[in-house]
Structure formats: structure tokens, C-alpha cells
Chain A
Amino acid sequence: MTNSPVQPSREQRQADVVAALAEALPRGAILFRHEDTAPYECDALTAYRASPMAVVLPDSDAQVAAVLRICHRLRVPVIARGAGTGLSGGAMPHRWGVILSLAKFNKILNIDPAACTAAVQCGVRNVAISEAAAPYGLFYAPDPSSQIACTIGGNVAENSGGVHCLKYGLTLHNVLRVRGFMVDGEPVEFGSDALDSPGLDLMAVILGSEGMLAVTTEVTVKLIPKPQLARCIMASFDDIESAGAAVASIIAGGIIPAGLELMDKAMTAAVEAFVHADYDLGAAAILLCESDGTAEEVAEEILRMEEVLTSAGASRLQVSGDEAQRLKFWSGRKNAFPASGNMSPDYMCMDSTIPRKRLAQMLHSIQEMQSQYGLRCANVFHAGDGNLHPLILFDAADPDEIRRCELFGADILETSVRLGGTITGEHGVGIEKLNSMCVQFSPAERELFVSVKRAFDPLELLNPGKVIPTLHRCAEYGKMHVHRGMLPFPGLPRF
């Protein structure tokens, strides 16, 4: 990442960068020995790793600004990092770059019960916001499965969802303001305490920008009154088609459940062994359908949900009688990932979205892919919004299994695009889905993404190499692939 004609050795470069950073940070806030930086080599996508030149752990805005100014002056890539729970390698280091860990930004600054907002530092864990708001009867709605560990800054970077976003929205629907710094260390504020701000809606592009446009240090989120009551229906289906059709019937019936989740038979077996929650092991698919609100509202809605699910062909319905049972129903779904860890040495979690009506078709395709690639796959879906999380089971000790797993994953993503969906619903592109971006977007669309990045970060120093594939990469990948079901140059004769 240097424009000088003679590239210094990495050791020399590292020494220069560390020396410059040491002018702005206390000694303990800079890690550069390999044994100290090793824990930062990857995020939750452990298959992709790199060793950073240094890791810095600032604890104030002034220090963050100073780090950015220094890195900008020296043209050093900066990769912001929260809890490192990301699943697409968004926080993977750059060999010539610095990891900006925001772990020390962990204070809740203000809970305003009258305005129903919370101002928190970026390193505050997702679930900690709801815990702090609980005494006021409020909560922060987006609840990614990693919510006990993931931070709000990371949620902003990924526009995280969760099991309740069908009703309560994604991160983007629940954030009012983001404060932070531009790549050169200049302070910046997107959004405000009001519901909108003058000019272009820059917050829209910041949310989900995977740390490539600015560095977030403080976030103001909306809080929502905690529903008085929630109840959950667990419905069994003898075949996947009926379960998929039941999802459509619920929506068609004018019901927006608080959560609507589907697990296939393989996943149900895995989670039952893990949590012992009385799941129906004989069912081809299990649907979890939740209603929340006032007691009157929930009673009314649960009745309607039961009617719809019964006429959609559910073979068995269980309605949670109390909070303990409701949490038990959810325990399996929330533990789907660790449970998969028990089934196989490794698993790769995919994340694409398709129109709801294609659920059954997609599941059948995945079934065929299992034999095609010789690997097993268990499925959990945010069925309400068509967001799939197929978990491909493999053994990372076997290079051929890794290869087949990657092909299997890419096939799922491309099938999703073909069915009218997208390559990532909530986990982000990061490093993992760069090739798939070539499938979903045309060269002109990808070029616009590059221009958007440059509008914020002209030298492309923030998290470079993520999200937007280079033209060359897509050209290589495109040799075997097609865009939106169309071969490139469809007019050319082919054999």
C-alpha cells in the first residue's frame, strides 16, 4: 500500500508504523508481536486469516482520531474491529494494515426514557443495550443470534438483523445517529436525534458499509416498549412444501409475526440433541411462529395463527403456555450454530435471501447439492423474510472437503440470485462473498460502489479489498459463470 518506487520490507514498514503510533498511544495500547496479534488474525470466519502489522486499542475519541491521522499520513490501511463475531471475514486483517480494535469503547452513555433512545459507545454489546433499557420497560429490537457477544458498532457495519426483524426491522430501521471519524481522522456525524436530517440520507449507506466508509465510535439507537407478553407456536409439518406454503398463508392472512423461523429435519435433530427441548423429530420441518404485544392482542393473534397453520396442513401444534416454555421453544433455534458444531468438525454458515415463495424449491435444490458435492447440509431459515442459513458440514482437515464446501456455498448463493434473491441477507460480503458479488452486480454497478467508497475514502484505506471485487477478479470468476441468468455477450455463437 505504498506508492514509493522501492517498497520497504514489511519489518521496516511495521517498525515505522508502530513508532508513529507510539507517539499517540500508550505503550499497552499497541500490539505488534506475532503472539499478541495472533488472536486478531480472523473474525468468526476462521477459514480466512492474515496477520496485521499492528493492533491498536484506543480508549478515547482523541486517540482514534490520532490513529487515523497517522495511518492516513503513512497510507496504512485501517480495519476497524468490534467483537470479531462477523461471519464473512469483514474484520479480517490486511497484511500491510492496522487493526483498530474498539473493544474499549464499551460505555452506555445515556438512556433517555422520554425520547426512547439510548446513546452508547460502539463497543457496547447488543444485548447490553436491552439490559440497560429493561428498567424503563424498553428494549433494543434487532437481535442477531450473536447478540450476547456482538457489538453495536459491528451491527451498524453489517446492518444486522435477527429473529425479530420481520416485525421490528433491521439495524437500519433502529438507528438514529452514528458518530465517528472519517479516514483522515476528521470527526463526522450521520443522522441526529431527530427522525431525519437535511441532505442525502448518508446514514443509509453507512449502515451495512462493512467498515469501508467511516469509523463508528458512538451510536444512538431507538428503544421500543417491551411487549407485555409473547407466545410462540411450534408447528410440525410432514413436508417442506406445506411448511413453505404455511409461511405464505400467514403473511397473506395479514399477520406479521414477531418471529417466523423454520428448521429442517437435519437441523431439528441436531438442536434436539443439544438442548432437549422436545422438538418433533419426525417432522420434515418445524415452524416457530411468535406473537407479541398486549395480552388481548396476543390472544387474538395466536388464535388466528393456529387457524392458518392448521389449514396449511400442520401435523402438530404446540403453543407455549408460559415464558419458560417459550424460551425452551426458542433455545434450539438460538443454538442452531453451536449444535451444528456437534454434528461435524466444521461447518460453513451461508446467508442468502430469496422470495418466501421459493423456500421449498430452494430446499430441494440444496438437497440435490448435498449429493452433488458429497457433503451434508442442515437448514435454519428466518422464514418470515426469506433469509436462509444453510449450514454446510465439512472437515477442514480435508482440503478436498474445503474445496467442495466452497463450491457448494457458491452454488447456494448463485441459486439464490437466480430465484430473485440476494447473496447476503445479514452477514455481509466481507472477503467471503467477493466472487458472488460478480454474479449479482454488473460491472457498472460495481464501479459505482467503488465511486461511493471514494466519496468517503478517496485513498481506499478503510478496510480495503472487502465487499467490492476487482474487475480482474470478476473476469476470472466470470469465465465459468453467468450474470443474472444471462451469459455475457449472449449474441456470440457458442458450441
Chain B
Amino acid sequence: MDQRDPGLAKLIDRVRHAQACGSPLQIRGGGTKEFYGGPRRGELLDISGLAGISSYEPTELVVTARAGTRLVELEAALEERGQCLAFEPPRFGSGGTVGGMVAAGLAGPARVSMGAVRDHVLGVTLLNGCGEVLTFGGQVAKNVAGYDVSRLMAGSLGVLGVICEASLKVLPVNRAATTLSFEWDEGRALEQLNVWRSLPLPLNASAWHDARLHVRLAGAAAAVAAACDRLGGIEVSADAAAAWWRGLRDQSEKFFSLTDTDLACGECLWRLSMPAAAAPVTLSGRQLIEWHGAQRWWRTTAQAHEVRAAAARGGGHATLFRGADKAAGVFTPVNGVLMRIHQGLKQAFDPAGVFNPGRLFADL
């Protein structure tokens, strides 16, 4: 990126000033994920002006966009050429940006088969805490020159630097997709997913909720048709299936909507990231399982330590995705050695500690 770009030059000035004064900045794209992560502190650093697709070459399977580019705009451009972001990032509103998507590192139903945001990040241009513009990675899929700093940005919640531009791997949209549904309880559904996972099936996504398992098969038409015959179940109409997966992806499905009353009553939405074959998790409340068992959403009034203990028993970790009281921390704390590395990296990228303090961990 050209540092003389007026939008970028302004950001550089703001960051240098913040560094000099030691005053925190909260980085903001479209502001659609303000509910996520720890408390927001400091002056707003709005990157939405840094917008636009810088380059898109369908035959290279790569798109480069400036951080403030709206995700819906990027996806529309890809769709025109029969391509997509295969990890289905959630859109919590139409204002969500590319930078916010990378920084949050959240992915949708297809993540289990297609990989996460980080798996599709090829390169990032970022602004560090000293106001320097740095580029890591690039626009090619295979690149091992230096440490993989660009992928470290995915899910970093802006604590290391301001993402200015990102290059992302894109993929052709699936030629065919069919959704099947099965009336199964949790135990049966998880058991069956464990069997299917190890078979050569075009399994793209799955979701279990309310005694019903949905499975999306996607890929070559012949492969999808053959898998449908093999798996059985009831085929869901294309429209209903699209609405169901979109509802999960964007969390517009009613399971995810916590009203102010729910929140006031202490109900929280927890995201449990579990080893896929982990046994059912027992908590009070309601559950929705995605990623063949690797992501288990809970709506519960249970205490944070109970939820974290339940996740830990199965070898996983729990994130307070939505909730009124975040005193117990949003993310599961990491151990001493990992925290020292986190602090060392923070020092490396943002020595004055200006970017999003406390958004990831209280002492970072």
C-alpha cells in the first residue's frame, strides 16, 4: 500500500500521536462486532475510509481488499465470478468490513470442512504501534519467507496492529449442494458424525439443534447425489436449506438472539470449541452444535467457571460470546508460558500498548 494514500496517512498520524501520548485507540471497521471480546477502551480509530478492492484475479484465486471494504461488497464481487470466501464469515450486519472479519477470526458452518479465516489469509499490510506500515505474506498460496505474521492477525482482535489491507484465498462456489435432515438426539447425531467424518463423503457442514441434525453435502453434482443416496434422511428444500445455513452463519437464527431481558436475567451465549469427537457436554440451558461436534453453542445462566470447567473436561475451551457480565473474562485464560509469549508479541508490535487494550485479555 502506498503510504502517501490520504486515508492511510491520516491513520499513521493518529497512531504516532497515540503512541507519543500513550493514549489507547479502539480500532473500528463497521462496528458490527462490538459485542464481541473484552471492554472497548480509548478513542475510536475508524478504518472504514480505507475501502476498496485493490485487486481481484479469479484465476489466481486471490483477492486483495483494503480493510474498510464492506464484506457484502467483497462477497458480491466474488459471486459475480463464481467464487466465494469458503469459510463463510458471519455478517452481523451489512456494515461489517474485511479488516474486522480478519481481526475477529470468526467463521461459519463450512469452517469444519473448508478451514478458518487464518487458513485463507495469504498476506496482510498492517500499521504497527509505531506507525510503520509493514507487509507480510503476499498474494500467493505458498510462501514461507519469514514468520507467518499475516496469519497471526486472524483472530488477534486488533491487539497487535491495524490491519490496512488483506489478501485472501478464494475458491469456486460448490457446483452442487444438498441438505439432509435427521430426527436424532444429541448422542445419536454425534455418534453418526464421528462415523461419517472418516468416510470419503462431500460433507460440508452440519448442525444439530432441537433433536434434529442438518447435514450439508457440497461439491461435484455426482458426488452429492451419491452421498444423498448413501446417507438417507429427508432432503430439505433448497430455499429452506439456504435460509437455515444463513441463519446459522449470520446468527440471525432465533437460537442466537438474546433479548435485553434474557441478558438482564444472566443468560449468556457461550461458544465451546471442543475436540470433534468429544462426548456430549452437560450444562443447564439449550445447545446448538456445529462443525461435526467441534463447536457447541450454549445459551445458559451457568456461571463462567462451570462452563469453562465443562469445556475443559472434554479437552476444549469456552468463550463468552454474548453476555451482560464479562467480569470473568471473555476468553479462556492461557497458561503462564503462553501469556509471556503474548506479552512479548504485544511488545514487538505495539510497544506503547495503544491498540485495543483489554479486548483479548485483561492484561494485554
Is the beta-carbon distance between A445 and B60 smaller than 8 angstroms? Answer: no
B338 within 8 A of A: yes
Contacts of B171 in A (CB 8 A): 256
Nearest opposing residue in chain B for A421, CB measure: B140
Interface residues of B in 147-162 (CB under 8 A from A): 147-149, 151-152, 154-156, 159-160
Shortest Cβ gap from B60 to chain A (Å): 5
Is the beta-carbon distance between A296 and B142 smaller than 8 angstroms? Answer: no
Is the beta-carbon distance between B115 and A194 smaller than 8 angstroms? Answer: no
Is the beta-carbon distance between B142 and A353 smaller than 8 angstroms? Answer: yes
- Please give 6 more A-B residue pairs, beta carbons under 8 A apart, in addition to A200-B152, A296-B222, A420-B139: A115-B275, A137-B200, A197-B334, A223-B198, A423-B145, A448-B349
Q: A195-B291, A293-B220, A386-B141 are in contact. Are A207 and B348 (CB under 8 A)?
A: no
Is the beta-carbon distance between B134 and A445 smaller than 8 angstroms? Answer: yes
> Interface with B: A19-27, A166-174, A261-269, which one?
A166-174
B225 within 8 A of A: yes
Nearest opposing residue in chain A for B157, CB measure: A200
> Interface with A: B21-29, B179-187, B237-245, B314-322, which one?
B314-322
Is the beta-carbon distance between B220 and A301 smaller than 8 angstroms? Answer: yes
- Complex CA distance for A296 and B195, rounded to whole angstroms: 21
Can you list, as one digit per residue, whether each of A424-453 has a CB less than 8 Å from chain B (1) or not (0)?
111111000100010011101110110111
Interface residues of B in 117-150 (CB under 8 A from A): 118-119, 128, 132, 134-136, 138-149
Is the beta-carbon distance between A173 and B198 smaller than 8 angstroms? Answer: no
Shortest Cβ gap from B291 to chain A (Å): 7
Q: A170-B142, A208-B147, A455-B344 are in contact. Are A195 and B294 (CB under 8 A)?
A: yes
Contacts of B143 in A (CB 8 A): 353, 422, 424-425
- Complex CA distance for A60 and B260, rounded to whole angstroms: 55
Can you list, as one digit per residue, whether each of A147-167 has a CB less than 8 Å from chain B (1) or not (0)?
000000000001101000110
A468 within 8 A of B: yes
- Complex CA distance for A194 and B315, rounded to whole angstroms: 7
A-B contacts, 27 of them at CB < 8 A, read A114-B198, A161-B142, A187-B337, A188-B338, A192-B275, A192-B315, A193-B315, A193-B316, A197-B334, A204-B148, A208-B147, A225-B199, A228-B200, A249-B59, A251-B61, A252-B58, A254-B172, A293-B223, A294-B202, A294-B227, A297-B223, A357-B60, A421-B138, A424-B143, A437-B146, A449-B146, A456-B341
Interface residues of A in 187-205 (CB under 8 A from B): 187-188, 192-202, 204-205
Listed from nearest, the 8 A-B pairs whose CB atoms lie closest are A455-B344, A296-B222, A451-B348, A254-B172, A193-B275, A204-B151, A297-B223, A425-B142
Is the beta-carbon distance between A455 and B142 smaller than 8 angstroms? Answer: no
Is the beta-carbon distance between B344 and A448 smaller than 8 angstroms? Answer: no
A355 within 8 A of B: yes
- Complex CA distance for A427 and B227, rounded to whole angstroms: 38
Is the beta-carbon distance between B342 and A294 smaller than 8 angstroms? Answer: no
Contacts of B152 in A (CB 8 A): 200-202, 204-205
A231 within 8 A of B: no
* Other-chain contact of B59, A196, A227, A248, A293 (Cβ < 8 Å): A248
Contacts of A444 in B (CB 8 A): 128, 132, 134
A186 within 8 A of B: yes
Is the beta-carbon distance between B222 and A294 smaller than 8 angstroms? Answer: yes
Q: How many residues belonging to B are interface residues under a CB distance threshold of 8 Å? A: 86
Shortest Cβ gap from B359 to chain A (Å): 12
A299 within 8 A of B: yes
Shortest Cβ gap from A449 to chain B (Å): 5
Q: A196-B273, A256-B172 are in contact. Are A169 and B223 (CB under 8 A)?
A: no
A125 within 8 A of B: no
Contacts of B291 in A (CB 8 A): 195
Q: A254-B172, A444-B132 are in contact. Are A202 and B145 (CB under 8 A)?
A: no
Is the beta-carbon distance between B149 and A448 smaller than 8 angstroms? Answer: yes
Contacts of A453 in B (CB 8 A): 147
Is the beta-carbon distance between A116 and B197 smaller than 8 angstroms? Answer: yes
Q: A194-B273, A256-B171 are in contact. Are A429 and B198 (CB under 8 A)?
A: no
Interface centre among B140, B175, B295, B317 (most CB of A within 10 A): B140
Shortest Cβ gap from B317 to chain A (Å): 5
Shortest Cβ gap from A17 to chain B (Å): 25
- Complex CA distance for A209 and B222, rounded to whole angstroms: 41
Interface residues of B in 19-64 (CB under 8 A from A): 57-62
A460 within 8 A of B: no
Contacts of A136 in B (CB 8 A): 198
Contacts of B146 in A (CB 8 A): 429, 437, 440-441, 445-446, 449, 467-468
Q: A204-B148, A442-B134 are in contact. Are A114 and B197 (CB under 8 A)?
A: yes
Shortest Cβ gap from B256 to chain A (Å): 19
B277 within 8 A of A: yes
B221 within 8 A of A: yes
A391 within 8 A of B: no
- Complex CA distance for A255 and B82, rounded to whole angstroms: 11
Is the beta-carbon distance between A297 and B315 smaller than 8 angstroms? Answer: no
Shortest Cβ gap from A386 to chain B (Å): 5
Is the beta-carbon distance between A194 and B59 smaller than 8 angstroms? Answer: no
Contacts of B94 in A (CB 8 A): none
A323 within 8 A of B: no
Q: A188-B337, A195-B111, A387-B142 are in contact. Are A448 and B134 (CB under 8 A)?
A: yes
- Complex CA distance for A118 and B160, rounded to whole angstroms: 33
* Other-chain contact of B345, A159, A197, A200 (Cβ < 8 Å): A200
Is the beta-carbon distance between B221 and A353 smaller than 8 angstroms? Answer: no
B284 within 8 A of A: no
Contacts of A137 in B (CB 8 A): 198-200
Contacts of B59 in A (CB 8 A): 248-249, 251-252, 356-357
Shortest Cβ gap from A243 to chain B (Å): 14
Shortest Cβ gap from A173 to chain B (Å): 5
* Other-chain contact of A382, B134, B142, B175, B274 (Cβ < 8 Å): B142
Is the beta-carbon distance between A198 and B194 smaller than 8 angstroms? Answer: no
Is the beta-carbon distance between A385 and B200 smaller than 8 angstroms? Answer: no
Nearest opposing residue in chain B for A468, CB measure: B146
Nearest opposing residue in chain B for A458, CB measure: B344
Interface centre among B143, B154, B194 (most CB of A within 10 A): B143
Is the beta-carbon distance between B140 and A386 smaller than 8 angstroms? Answer: yes
Q: A114-B197, A385-B142, A444-B132 are in contact. Are A297 and B219 (CB under 8 A)?
A: yes
Is the beta-carbon distance between A198 and B57 smaller than 8 angstroms? Answer: no
Shortest Cβ gap from B30 to chain A (Å): 22
B276 within 8 A of A: yes
Shortest Cβ gap from B286 to chain A (Å): 21
Contacts of B151 in A (CB 8 A): 172, 201, 204-205
Can you list, as one digit per residue, whether each of A447-473 has a CB less than 8 Å from chain B (1) or not (0)?
011011111101000000001100000
Is the beta-carbon distance between A227 and B197 smaller than 8 angstroms? Answer: no
- Complex CA distance for A425 and B294, rounded to whole angstroms: 31
A215 within 8 A of B: no
- Complex CA distance for A385 and B139, rounded to whole angstroms: 11
Q: A200-B360, A421-B140, A426-B142 are in contact. Are A195 and B220 (CB under 8 A)?
A: no
A42 within 8 A of B: no
B247 within 8 A of A: no
